[in-house]
Amino acid sequence: MKEFKVLFVVFIGLIITIGCKEQKTKQDVSNTVETKLSEEQLYRPNFHFTPKANWMNDPNGMFFYNGYYHLYFQYYPDGNVWGPMHWGHAISTDMVTWVEKPIALYPDEKGYIFSGSAVVDADNTSGFGKGGKIPTIAMFTYHNMDKEKNGDVNFQSQAIAYSLDEGLTWEKYADNPVIKNPNIKDFRDPKVVWDEVNEKWIMVLAAGQEIMFYSSKNLKDWELLSNFGENIGSHDGVWECPDLFAMQVEGTDEVKWVLIVSVGKGGYNMGSATQYFVGDFDGKNFTIDPDFKNELDTNNASWIDYGKDNYAGVTWSNIPDTDGRKLFIGWMSNWQYATKVPTEKWRSSMTVARELKLTKTNNKYQLKSVPVKEISNYISKTVKKNSINIEKGKQTLLTNKKLIDFKSLDIQFTIKNLKEDTYTFCFDNKSGDAIKFGLNNNEQFFFIDRMVSGNVSFSEEFAPKISKAPFTTTENELEVRLLLDKTSIEIFYNNGETVMTEIFFPKNPIEAFSVQSENFNIEIENLIINELNFN
Ligand code: FRU
């Protein structure tokens, strides 16, 4: 645990006009150009995993074993755009700080190593275990470029590899592939789960715009069980990176199955996004719950995160029952612009690891997500304020760099007595770059606005307009939690009921946090600003 300081700060007199609203004059801006910060200093996140160098996309093969959380990832070690895929590897004892390890899986003559999963085969059902060593089995997609270039459709197949040293080194199975391609063009991203009830391995696979369910007793021989996905969910893009797991509905004995499906484009705010379905799985078929079906939005979908930068996320396997959490991580980017984001040395980071929770309120199932609790072990300083009254129409500073180091923050507050008004929160810097977010309670939506957040010109699809999420609660107050880490904001409203994750690239570090309402005076209660320290 880091040193823990609590500051109580008087906010009177902090009302100033800042760059969020008013553009600074040319003179102001030119005066602020000082020593140029390196890409590392300005853009490398402190607590979101990034590879030391080069390209990364989806999280893969996550499992927990002997005190370590393993995270593999789609990795191209020879360039900063997508290329021949490997599985990179990182480990962590708390899912917050990561140590990068040597590459785990290299492409070979059968193809590139696309996304997949890993399980700990404690009972040695696969027979790969030797000398009492418990094997870990990874299942991934081989993507054969030659076949693809040849115009064949059957260029993706499923394969396995095993590790006898807890995931550090891997041996590919000699009889790969274990599932050949049945003439389906997009046929990938196997996620294996242990079905306790039916005592067998279940695997979900994205196949075109459907999910295919398979089962196996030994992780080598797989039988097709069923398909799911026709006429349900968003179908604007190819389906990718599924996950399936059982969850207890919070506060009840009810168990439901959750199916996660990423969709390449057609998210709520366009581009890549991840949808989920709540239903039942009988060991063969997944059926969507009728109550859940009624809740789908106009895209016929339900989204795990409404921001533009949480894709291809799945859960960790082998979390001990004594822990019992469903732990999730996503890729914090979007295929619309991932290869163009303005970092050279590395490209992309992961989201913060999140705990998923399933709730049912007024017949409405919801998959909520909150940052893993381990993040609070890194709090190095806290600024608190019980109650702040904000005068309408005035940009009001909540804190600035004199009080807090803005590199990594975990902020919480409550808005009481919600008014029919727009609440705009703003992080900004001396160049006038601003990342804004909040609630439009006239039109009932949350938003993130990164249109003037710094470097936005690298892609027309990065910030053409604000991103939105529906605000549906009937409560009169709103709880807000957010994480800021140099180039990303992750906002969790009402304990993760609605989540928005987005990245941004300011020209200078963020140094102030402020708020403004338009037509009503507003109250912010229980503001807690935690500075996080990872040194
Ligand atoms: C999702 C995805 C997967 C695929 C991988 C390739 O982002 O397209 O479907 O396995 O990336 O890198």
**Interval 32-80: pLDDT, tens:** 445 689 999 999 999 999 999 999 999 999 999 999 999 999 999 999 9
User: What pTM does this model have?
Assistant: 0.94
The per-residue pLDDT for 48 is 98
Check if 478 has its Cβ closer than 6 Å to any atom of ligand 1.
Answer: no
The per-residue pLDDT for 34 is 54
Q: How far is CA 523 from CA 417, 439, 447, 513, in A?
A: 8, 14, 19, 16
Rounded to an integer, the average pLDDT of 177-198 is 96
Query: Which ligand 1 atom is the nearest neighbour of the CA of 116?
Result: 10
Confidence check: pLDDT of 14 > 60: no
Helix then strand then coil, in percent of the chain rounded to 5, is: 5, 45, 50
Question: Pairing between strand 5-8 and 379-390?
Answer: parallel
Query: Which ligand 1 atom is the nearest neighbour of the CA of 114?
Result: 10
Give the pLDDT confidence of 120-162 residue by residue, as tens digits: 999 999 999 999 999 999 999 999 999 999 999 999 999 999 9
Q: Is 413 helix (H, G, I), strand (E, B) or coil?
A: strand
Q: What whole-number distance in Å separates Cα of residue 168 and Cα of residue 380?
A: 33
Q: What whole-number distance in Å separates Cα of residue 118 and Cα of residue 65?
A: 11
Q: What whole-number distance in Å separates Cα of residue 335 and Cα of residue 265?
A: 8
Check if 312 has its Cβ closer than 6 Å to any atom of ligand 1.
Answer: yes
In the chain, the percentage of residues whose pLDDT exceeds 90 is 89
DSSP string, 56-79: EEEEEEEEEETTEEEEEEEEETT-
| Domains of the chain listed by start with CATH number | 47-371 (2.115.10.20), 377-532 (2.60.120.560)
Check if 261 has its Cβ closer than 6 Å to any atom of ligand 1.
Answer: no
CB atoms within 10 A of CB 452: 18
The per-residue pLDDT for 197 is 84
The per-residue pLDDT for 4 is 42
Question: What mean pLDDT is reported for the chain?
Answer: 93
Q: What whole-number distance in Å separates Cα of residue 307 and Cα of residue 528?
A: 23
Check if 115 has its Cβ closer than 6 Å to any atom of ligand 1.
Answer: yes
Q: Give me the catalytic one of 58, 121, 189, 243.
A: 58
Nearest to 216 by CA among 144, 127, 141: 127
In the block, tokens 């991103």 appear at 467
The per-residue pLDDT for 13 is 35
297 catalytic? Reply is no
Confidence check: pLDDT of 226 > 70: yes
The per-residue pLDDT for 80 is 98
Amino acid at 413: F
